[in-house]
Amino acid sequence: MLALIAIDWFPLWLSLRVAAIATAGVLTLGTLVSYVLSHKSFRGKHLLDSLITLPLVLPPTVLGYYLLVLAGRASPFGHVYESIFGQPLVFTWQAAVVAAFLHSAPIYIKAATAVLEAVDYRFEWAAHSLGASEWRTFWRVTLPLAWRGLASLAALSFARALGDFGVTIMLAGNIPGRTQTLSVAIYDAVESGDGTLARVLVVVVSALAIALLWPAAYLSRRTRPATTA
């Protein structure tokens, strides 16, 4: 019990904050991209689709390296970022958000595209023929019909965003008290031989994951309509 009190809980707090912001980003941007992929046909759709899948297959170190180059202080993007926010992106907790976002967005987009495609197009057509704009149809028809699936994916995204290691350590580094997230702290504890800390954090992460997957499974279960008249 004493050991628990003595532990620095900053990595847990940081990870939760990072995952929450990353999930919010995934939900807005990811849902938008999923809607476009599921409802529009355009040139370059397959290219976009494969670009989205790329973070899933690239080694995290490769992805982290790309981002380091892209967001480094010498790059145009890094420059613009620094001039807006007054500090560079790399080796900050915001970089951990970017890493977590990239870790969870591809899976969310892939699955959310399937969820949005599964909404019967006739409901959307009916809304359009009744005069509802695409925006209104999305909010009032498509989203309410897909919300269970999307909410379950949001829980999964959050769980996944908690767990990024490779890109986080490349882009945000391992600065205790500033950028050290849970998974990085576990690595750090094992490296430095602090078995107690590693065990406690491992249990915390596992418990969190189960706590998130349970409602996700509940939400994604098939709802069978009760008997109809």
Q: Which residue ranges make up the site for another protein (CB under 8 A)?
A: 120, 122-123, 125-133, 136, 140-141, 144-145, 225-226, 228-229
96: CB partners within 8 A, 6+ apart: 14, 18, 164, 168, 171, 172, 179, 181
In whole angstroms, how close is the CB of 145 to another protein at the nearest point? Answer: 6
In whole angstroms, how close is the CB of 44 to another protein at the nearest point? Answer: 21
Encoding tokens for residue 221? 């279960």
In whole angstroms, how close is the CB of 206 to another protein at the nearest point? Answer: 36
Which residue's structure tokens are 């613009």? 80
Which residue's structure tokens are 């949001």? 154
Q: In whole angstroms, how far apart are CA 181 and each of 116, 152, 159?
A: 33, 24, 14
Nearest residue to 93 via CA among 204, 25, 13 = 13
Nearest residue to 34 via CA among 188, 142, 127 = 142
In whole angstroms, how close is the CB of 133 to another protein at the nearest point? Answer: 6
Which CB, 79 or 136, lies closer to another protein? 136
Which CB, 62 or 151, lies closer to another protein? 151
Encoding tokens for residue 118? 């599964």
Which CB, 83 or 223, lies closer to another protein? 223
Which CB, 86 or 120, lies closer to another protein? 120
Q: Answer for the pair 220, 148: CB distance below 8 angstroms, yes or no.
A: yes
Which CB, 144 or 195, lies closer to another protein? 144
Q: Answer for the pair 161, 134: CB distance below 8 angstroms, yes or no.
A: no
Q: In whole angstroms, how far apart are CA 118 and each of 14, 33, 38, 83, 146?
A: 36, 16, 9, 43, 8
Which CB, 145 or 209, lies closer to another protein? 145
In whole angstroms, how close is the CB of 111 to another protein at the nearest point? Answer: 21
In whole angstroms, how close is the CB of 140 to another protein at the nearest point? Answer: 6
